[in-house]
Amino acid sequence: MDMLSEIKQPELSGRRRQLLDQTISGYIQNGEPVGSKWLSETAGLSVSSATIRNDLSDLEKGGYLTQVHQSSGRVPTDKGYRLYVDGVVDRLHPLDATVPGLHGDVQLIGHNIQQILGQVTDLMGNLIDYTTIILMPDIYQETLKLAHLILVDLDMVLVVLLNKVGVNCEFLVKISDRVDQEDLNKISKLLTEKLSGRPTFELNKSVVEDLVSELPLYEGVLTQITEEIQRLRRFNSGSDKLMMRGMSNMIRLPEFRNVELTQKVLSTLEETKVMLAVFSEYLAFNQPQVVIGDEHHIEELKDCSIVVAPYAVDDEPIGMVGVLGPRRMAYDRVIPMVQGVTARITDYLNQNRSVVQGGASNV
């Protein structure tokens, strides 16, 4: 998978490029192969139908279009889509304010990052007929801001870990040592001082040994908390990292009348590990991506395209918003929408940290 800046296609001449864009736009809009008659009536080109037919033939020879049947109109190839998408990206302006419902709703979303992202998926699901997929931040990998221990019973402690973007991880730990809340306050203060700014998963055996050297009386409590964090990290590394909406809308599109295709796509979306691997790969690029058809390596999704963009805190990407749909996706609408949403989430997280950090979410 290549970055957008590295997969630009050579430019076509003005008229043929316009004809290609009109052909692809017509196919995206109508879902039917596009013929010269339709183009001569709608493309706004001051040329004859014969010239359009010749240009279409040349575009087909160039690998930008293809014919399903010899007598049918043309449909785009992945190469044609790529050139079209590059043009959409080149023309891109912040379009969120012109997408109905997007500007205000994203500003007014709740105060916890899980709430923000959950409502974003619902909002986008109402605006587009594709599947919205959101990669959540990982409490166990994001740097820690605060640790707080609360005694809830004689042998039970509630552990609250808050990372820098306001995601809470809360869990109960059964302890064998007798402690009171004053003891737990000391441990909380030490954990916060020693681990603030470090990934939560770094609370391992060697770190515990360092902590125990300062509070030797609480070795048992520290060890049990550490073991539970590591267990939860292994247990929660899957489905809780992804939010998906809109699959029922997408499968109503003409492409998904093919039952075999629908089954392949839906079963792949349900494979959490596969989708996590894909989105983690995109996240590493730290910039928007548009991946069309065979450009990605998942055989079951070769008839689909994916548009993704990261959201970040302090310029560090912590998650992604993505849209999966057929190759015949409305790229000119989806690309600016995804980028507009992630830009707004990024601004919100960076400008309203005290508000975001007021939320809580249980593991």
pLDDT at residue 266 in the model: 87
- Backbone conformation region of residue 329, classed left if phi is above 0, alpha if psi is from -120 to 50, else beta: beta
**248 and 286 assigned to the same domain:** yes
pLDDT at residue 74 in the model: 92
- Quote the tokens at residue 208: 């515990």
Number of domains in the chain: 3
Of 98, 31, 3, the residue nearest 330 (C-alpha): 31
* CATH code, domain carrying 118: 3.30.450.40
- Quote the tokens at residue 226: 């550490």
Q: How far apart are CA 349 and CA 111, in angstroms?
A: 10
pLDDT at residue 64 greater than cutoff 90: yes
**221 and 125 assigned to the same domain:** no
Task: Give the residue from 181, 200, 235 where a domain finishes.
Answer: 235
* CATH code, domain carrying 53: 1.10.10.10
* CATH code, domain carrying 212: 3.30.390.60
209, part of any domain: yes
pLDDT at residue 49 in the model: 83
pLDDT at residue 275 greater than cutoff 80: yes
pLDDT at residue 108 in the model: 45
**251 and 198 assigned to the same domain:** no
DSSP state of 179: -
SS3 per-residue string spanning 283-336: HCCCCCEEEEHHHCCCHHHCCEEEEEEEEEECCEEEEEEEEEEECCCCHHHHHH
**211 and 328 assigned to the same domain:** no
Q: Do the beta carbons of residue 39 and residue 21 sit within 8 Å?
A: no
pLDDT, tens digit (0-9, with 9 covering 90-100), for 4-40: 434 455 557 788 898 999 999 999 998 899 988 888 8
Domain extent for 168: 144-235
% of the chain surpassing 70 pLDDT: 79
361, part of any domain: no
pLDDT, tens digit (0-9, with 9 covering 90-100), for 139-182: 555 667 788 899 988 888 888 887 766 666 777 888 888 899 99
The stretch 80-85 carries a mean pLDDT of: 94
DSSP state of 196: B
Please provide the average confidence, as pLDDT, over all residues in the chain: 80
Task: Give the residue from 182, 215, 235 where a domain finishes.
Answer: 235
The stretch 243-267 carries a mean pLDDT of: 87
CA angle 35, 40, 44 (to 5 degrees): 130
